[in-house]
Amino acid sequence: MELKDKSKFPKVVIIGGGFGGLQVARKLKDMPVEILMVDKHNYHTFQPLLYQVAIGSLEADSIAFSLRKNFAGQKNFRFRNAEVTKVNPEKNTIDTTIGEIAYDYLVLATGSTTNFFGDKDIERFSMPMKSIPEALNLRSLILQNIEEAVLLNTKEERAPYLNFVLVGAGPTGVELSGALAELRNHILDKDYPELHKDHMKVYLVEFQPRVLGSMSEQASKGAREFLTKMGVEVLVNTKVESYDGNEIKLGDGKTIPTKNVIWSAGVMGVIPHGISKNIVERGNRIRVDSVCRVVGFSNIFAIGDVAAMITDETPKGHPGVAQVAIQMGNHVAKTIVQIINSEPTAPFKYFDKGSLATIGRNKAVADLGKLKFQGFFAWLIWMFVHLVSLLGFRNKIIVFINWSLSYLTYNGGARLIIRRFVKGGVTQNGHMPKDN
């Protein structure tokens, strides 16, 4: 089935409702184009707060927002809940699970997924966290394993269930390890009086020499000091050799018994079939020109995590952060209008607004241009920036209330096991799940 478009205006098809895709659609409002966004989810995910869903501090619907509702009132916008299976550049169409869709201009804003670097065992047994379903799986795993530990008698028996190993010390690894440390320090013995906080261990493993490698030396040092004071064992210059679901082996010979390995050591772009491998760069990203147009095509663009704009200034492409996707989205929307109007286009220039990472209560690091600082003020800025960036007034209020309660009581969040996590047909303790 081919989905026909009877509009007289050029049709812009956007694949992906992340930060970049949203921005393209917003900036094309009131422009003489018809916009069709296609996404396998009908909601936008605010990924920077996924880790709080994973530890039960926030519920999933407080960081998700309906794509249809977000564009209510934008007359030139339509949405289709479908998965894209292939791009057909020779026909100017895409194949989807609801049929073939034609386009005049195509924007690939497909984002990224976890990169396991080809290790099938790590992919099978470790936990990624790039989407709401993955964050909910991780939350169930964490809580199920703590519940399992309650049933055991000795520290040695409990160790695999209460040892948490985070691989990759970028913002996700740092923020999640800090959150787990706070759960151990302030919540564990309240919710589970049979356990002691010393029974739970949090490890942060990084192959590079320092944590938060994309931020300044000052931010890296500050983050590591915060984590260490909170009881996280930080292991830098350390490679993961293997993980079999019960024990992780590190390059220095250290082994840790654990059923909780969280993998955030790398990401890779999500590219639909139909894009030639000849234009795919390292990290599974599509090579684009100075206006984010896919090399070799006049009407296909790629933005955000899936785009690789290789220049003298950016020999490895741009960083995989939301601001890059947002700014590329702005630029592509302008470029499409300029092309339609036969006007000259301008090259994309990224403006780095800075980086923030939180480690826990009153603890964050900030690189804002020449200003580099850490501690309580950086934490306030981190909270403000993330709060105002959320879609939807309701979500902002809910998150603010949750954060306020957590700050006042040290015990925010529900931490409910709504659905038992199943991997390979059985739960982590080897039993078939039973939902009442």
Tokens of 238: 């350390």
Of 40, 34, 42, 39, whose CA–CA distance to 103 is shortest?
A: 34
Which helix (H) or strand (E) element contains residue 37? strand 34-39
Which helix (H) or strand (E) element contains residue 105? strand 105-108
Long-range CB contacts (< 8 A, 24+ apart) of 208-212?
A: 208/169, 208/236, 208/237, 209/236, 209/237, 210/169, 210/236, 211/169, 211/173, 211/174, 211/236, 212/169, 212/170, 212/171, 212/174, 212/357, 212/365
- Cα separations in angstroms, 418 against 60, 136, 308, 415, 436: 12, 9, 39, 9, 10
Is 134 labeled as catalytic in the residue annotation?
A: no
Residue 98 CB-half CA count within 13 A: 12
Q: Which of 34, 59, 148, 175 is the catalytic position?
A: 175
Long-range CB contacts (< 8 A, 24+ apart) of 414-417?
A: 414/56, 414/59, 415/55, 415/56, 415/139, 415/143, 415/187, 415/191, 416/56, 416/143, 417/139, 417/140, 417/143, 417/144, 417/147
In DSSP notation, 241-278 reads EEE-SSEEEETTS-EEE-SEEEE-S-EEE---BTS-GG
Answer yes or no: are the C-beta atoms of 3 and 98 closer than 8 Å.
Answer: yes
Return the active site residues: 175
